[in-house]
């Protein structure tokens, strides 16, 4: 079969910066096994340029595919664009199968199939094996009902098959790197870059996060094989920067240490960027020299809040003490720390924001990234927030970078001003500049310079975006707008080929 994988252009600022685009790992992960099955696979990456929707649709049509596969790492925020693109391709290519996978369709399959009858099937959960089976069934004209992990229309009703098995051997499915030209992708100041993944899932239970639900349990790739793949991409394709897609690659100390040692043994000069938990950094205090030697230049650590009561509410499981210590330890090894700080848990007041700012400065991270709590309906936090009013009904902005739910103690404008003020204070401290200028490592100086350049651009873009945003038009709660909760527990109870009633309210598209 001729199969086209489509990465849509996203309106987020991160998708609009030339030479700072990363390849779509999810689509490449599905593409590799399909190539191995003998399909004629192509990738059209609408983020490059970025393409207009017209160009993207024309390119897909010109390939004359039998099947067109969609997925986007932005998931909910990518959905409205995927829906528009799907509809146009389905009209132009009525005989092509349209397949849609990712986090958002996994938990919105009923609504999507009802609103978009041209979608042939939705892949729920991780996609490698399910997509292989689905493409084989479509090519052979065999019934879809036998394939676990999909949803489709039967007699005009959305139906779901049983959940697919969790992939236990992540190395059994290779990434289809040949689908891209590495020269098209860059990050970290225009350096050639890819996204890579050591593990899937997370053993922790933070209630605003869907990692555990979507991936089910924490699993990792073979440490030595991943190190060899990184070295090969560096030597054969000149890839310099590897951005880990994992939320928590270091959850298991033993495999993580084995990976670091294997990469050090490969002796390649690469830049590694990842997210992890502050607790893991503290746990690994005795092997942080290996982190540095392997090439780690920055860790993003989800601190989420500096308030112990809020951390308890969201079941973060960490503590302000380990957050502070992790930053100190990373600095000791000249690895940058980026702290995420999440606003909108509904306990904010002027006093708490001021307290939070003072605490962030006392933690002294190299970089901070302010985000807004986003109650996706597949997270336990949805149930805590379902009665709160929405202040953003454009799904493309449900990307953690926009406030989407109201808080009781502060208007959106006031919260926005506080967030921008916190970011400016944290990033423009003389101490942060001094560290940049006097840093002995030229790679770290480059990284900090690049981050300030990007930060300035994003900061101004976000202020202009806030000022120009359309007025909020709906008076709905989160639950009224997004429908009933649908998280992993609910999804696990989907019996084979179940017909499901549709909630009353469909998501805005």
Give me the residues that bind ligand SF4 (CB under 6 A), please.
202, 204, 206, 209, 211-212, 247-248, 277, 302
Whether 109 and 121 have beta carbons less than 8 Å apart is answered as no
* 485 vs 375: CA distance, rounded Å: 10
- Least Å from the CB of residue 201 to ligand SF4: 8
Minimum separation from the CB atom of position 211 to ligand SF4 (A):
4
- Compute the least distance from the CB of residue 93 to ligand SF4, in Å: 38
Angle between helices 412-427 and 442-468 (to 10 degrees): 160
User: What number of other Cβ atoms are within 10 A of residue 470's Cβ?
Assistant: 8
Taking the complex as a whole, the smallest distance from the CB of residue 45 to ligand SF4 amounts, in Å, to: 26
Q: How far apart are CA 472 and CA 489, in angstroms?
A: 33
Is-contact 205 370, C-beta < 8 A?
A: no
Q: How far is the CB of 171 from ligand SF4 (least distance, A)?
A: 22
Sorted by sequence, the CB contacts under 8 Å of residue 187 that are 6+ apart come out as 20, 21, 22, 193, 241, 243
Instruction: Give min distance, CB of 300 to ligand SF4, in A.
Output: 10
Closer of 280 and 392 to ligand SF4 (Cβ): 280
Shorter beta-carbon distance to ligand SF4: residue 167 or 342 = 342
Q: What is the DSSP letter of 183?
A: G
* Residue (123 or 274) nearer to ligand SF4, CB: 274
Phi, psi dihedral angles at 262 (to 5 degrees):
-65, -40
Count CB-CB contacts under 10 A for residue 108: 24
Q: Give the nearer residue to ligand SF4 in terms of CB position, either 207 or 439.
A: 207
C-alpha dist (Å) from residue 472 to 140, 324, 372: 48, 38, 17
Q: Which is nearer to ligand SF4, 179 or 245 (CB)?
A: 245
Beta bridge partners of 369: 340
Scan for tokens 């019934």, then name that residue. Answer: 143
Is it true that the peptide bond before 315 is cis, omega within 30 degrees of 0?
A: no
Exposure string (b/e) for 125-134, b if CB count within 10 Å is 16 or more?
bbbbbbbbbb
- Give the helix, strand, coil percentages of the chain, each rounded to 5: 45, 15, 35
Helices (H) and strands (E) in the chain, counts: 20, 17
Q: Of 5 and 209, which has the nearer Cβ to ligand SF4?
A: 209
- Best CA proximity match to 8, nearest among 61, 86, 95, 65: 86
Q: Smaller CB distance to ligand SF4: residue 177 or 208? A: 208
CA 379 → CA 155, 207, 313, 388, 480, distances in Å? 31, 6, 14, 15, 16
Q: Pick between residue 86 and residue 202 the one whose CB is nearest to ligand SF4.
A: 202
Q: How far is the CB of 263 from ligand SF4 (least distance, A)?
A: 22
CB of 342 to ligand SF4, least distance (A): 10
- Closer Cβ to ligand SF4, 226 or 274, answer by number: 274
CB of 204 to ligand SF4, least distance (A): 4
């Amino acid at each position: 079969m001729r199969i086209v994988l489509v990465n849509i252009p996203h309106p987020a600022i991160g998708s609009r910066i030339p030479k700072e685009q990363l390849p779509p790992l999810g689509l490449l992960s599905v593409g590799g096994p399909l190539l191995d099955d003998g399909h004629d696979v192509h990738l059209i990456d609408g983020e490059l340029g970025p393409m207009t929707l017209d160009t993207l649709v024309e390119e897909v049509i010109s390939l004359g595919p039998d099947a067109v596969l969609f997925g986007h790492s932005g998931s909910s925020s990518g959905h409205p664009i995927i829906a528009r693109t799907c509809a146009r391709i389905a009209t132009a290519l009525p005989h092509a199968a349209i397949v849609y996978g990712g986090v958002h369709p996994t938990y919105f399959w009923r609504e999507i199939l009802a609103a978009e009858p041209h979608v042939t099937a939705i892949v729920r959960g991780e996609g490698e094996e399910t997509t292989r089976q689905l493409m084989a069934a479509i090519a052979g004209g065999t019934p879809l009902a036998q394939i676990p992990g999909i949803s489709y229309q039967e007699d005009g009703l959305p139906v779901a098959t049983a959940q697919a098995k969790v992939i236990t051997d992540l190395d059994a499915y290779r990434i289809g790197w040949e689908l891209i030209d590495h020269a098209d992708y860059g990050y970290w100041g225009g350096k050639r870059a890819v996204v890579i993944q050591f593990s899937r899932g997370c053993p922790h239970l933070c209630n605003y996060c869907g990692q555990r639900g979507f991936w089910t349990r924490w699993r990792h790739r073979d440490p030595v094989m991943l190190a060899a793949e990184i070295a090969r991409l560096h030597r054969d394709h000149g890839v310099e920067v590897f951005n880990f897609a994992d939320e928590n690659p270091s959850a298991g100390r033993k495999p993580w240490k084995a990976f670091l040692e294997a990469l050090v043994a490969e002796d390649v000069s690469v830049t590694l960027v990842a997210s992890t938990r502050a607790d893991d950094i503290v746990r690994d205090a005795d092997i942080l020299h290996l982190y540095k030697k392997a090439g780690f230049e920055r860790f993003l650590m989800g601190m989420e809040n500096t308030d112990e009561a809020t951390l308890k509410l969201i079941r973060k499981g960490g503590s302000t003490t380990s957050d502070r210590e992790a930053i100190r330890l990373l600095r000791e090894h000249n690895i940058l720390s980026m702290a995420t700080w999440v606003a909108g848990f509904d306990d904010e007041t002027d006093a708490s924001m001021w307290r939070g700012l003072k605490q962030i400065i006392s933690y002294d991270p190299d970089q901070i990234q302010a985000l807004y709590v986003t109650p996706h309906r597949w997270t336990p936090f949805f149930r805590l927030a379902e009665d709160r009013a929405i202040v953003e009904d454009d799904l493309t902005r449900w990307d953690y970078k926009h406030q989407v739910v109201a808080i009781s103690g502060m208007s959106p404008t006031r919260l926005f001003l506080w967030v921008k003020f916190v970011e400016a204070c944290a990033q423009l401290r003389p101490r942060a500049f001094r560290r940049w200028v006097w840093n002995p490592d030229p790679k770290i100086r480059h990284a900090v310079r690049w981050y300030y350049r990007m930060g300035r651009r994003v900061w101004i873009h976000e202020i202009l975006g806030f000022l120009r945003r359309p007025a909020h038009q709906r008076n709905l709660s989160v639950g009224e707008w997004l429908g009933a909760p649908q998280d992993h527990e609910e999804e696990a109870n989907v019996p084979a080929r179940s017909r499901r009633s549709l909630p009353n309210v469909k998501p805005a598209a």
